[in-house]
Structure 1
Amino acid sequence: MVERVTATDEALKLIDTLAEIHGPLMFHQSGGCCDGSSPMCYPRGEFRVGESDVLLGEIGETPFYISKDQYEYWKHTQLIIDAVDGRGGMFSLEGPAGKRFLTRSRVFNEDERKALN
């Protein structure tokens, strides 16, 4: 099975740490069209998803949503969520941890594209 979103070990560790503090989490990628964008991490249910959002998959048992407009930019790639030193978005839970989630990507190969269709 081809996953549209995955996470590095560092991101999974940060997700676990944040979940211990805040309970179940969710992600939303609403902006940024290229590598280096930062998804926002919220307590699950705090951010309202709607018809203009797509559930891309799960990382660390955490749902990852993306806006439809952003999905159009990213649909040909697998998103790889990493955690690096730095400050996250103002409303994203990882901010006080001195880490931020970072979106990287790789283009799906032909077999993966066929499997996704």
Structure 2
Amino acid sequence: MHTGAPARVIATDAARAFLAEIRQDHPNVLIHQSGGCCDGSSPMCYPSAAFRIGDSDVKLGEIDGVAIYISGPQFEAWRRTQLILDVVPGRGGMFSLDNGRERRFLARARAFSDEEVFALDGKAP
């Protein structure tokens, strides 16, 4: 990433507050965005020690000290977008720590401008 590059991942205030709530029960967590179907399409929150980062997973950044990862194939599909971690009403994924809290994480996205893509990748889009 080049100087002045935008963050690949950001979070809404609601997502930050929800993450802080989860961390009261589980201090060391990470979030993983996979490209699967159903539950796998949502950002999933796991205890850091219970989730194995794959060789192709890409770290997008951190939100309040929590690492945010995305699967390699999903990163390639979303490479030109900023992931925005948000929260909506509903049930979290079966194994995600947001499950049972009547709210769940949701990934939104914003397309990077050509200038932002250049700042991130160092080459013209």
TM-score normalized with structure 1 length: 0.92
Shift of 1:50: 2.2
Structure 1 match to 2:118: 114
Q: Which residue of 1 aligns with 2:66?
A: 62
Residue 87 of structure 1 corresponds to 91
Which shifted more, 99-108 or 52-61?
52-61
Unaligned runs of 5+ in 2: none
Alignment deviations for residues 76-110 of structure 1 (CA, whole Å, 9 cap, x no partner): 10000101110010000011111000000010012
1:27 aligned residue: 31
- Give 1:2 shift: 0.9
Q: Is 2:77 the counterpart of 1:73?
A: yes
Following TM superposition, the consecutive aligned residue runs of length 4 or more in structure 1 with deviations greater than 2 angstroms are: none
Q: Using the alignment, how far apart are the partners of 2:99 and 2:120 within structure 1? A: 34
Q: Counterpart in 2 of 1:8?
A: 12
- Unaligned stretches of 5+ in structure 1? none
Name the SS for the 1:45 alignment partner: helix
Aligned residues: 114
- Return the letter of the residue paired with 1:115: A
SS of the aligned residue for 1:27 comes to strand
Identity %: 52
| AA at the equivalent of 1:20 | Q
CA RMSD, Structure 1 to Structure 2 (Å): 1.3
Confirm or deny: 8 A CA contact 2:30 2:46 kept in the other structure. Answer: yes
8 Å Cα contact 1:26/1:45 also seen in 2: no
| Contact kept? 2:83, 2:109, Cα under 8 Å | yes
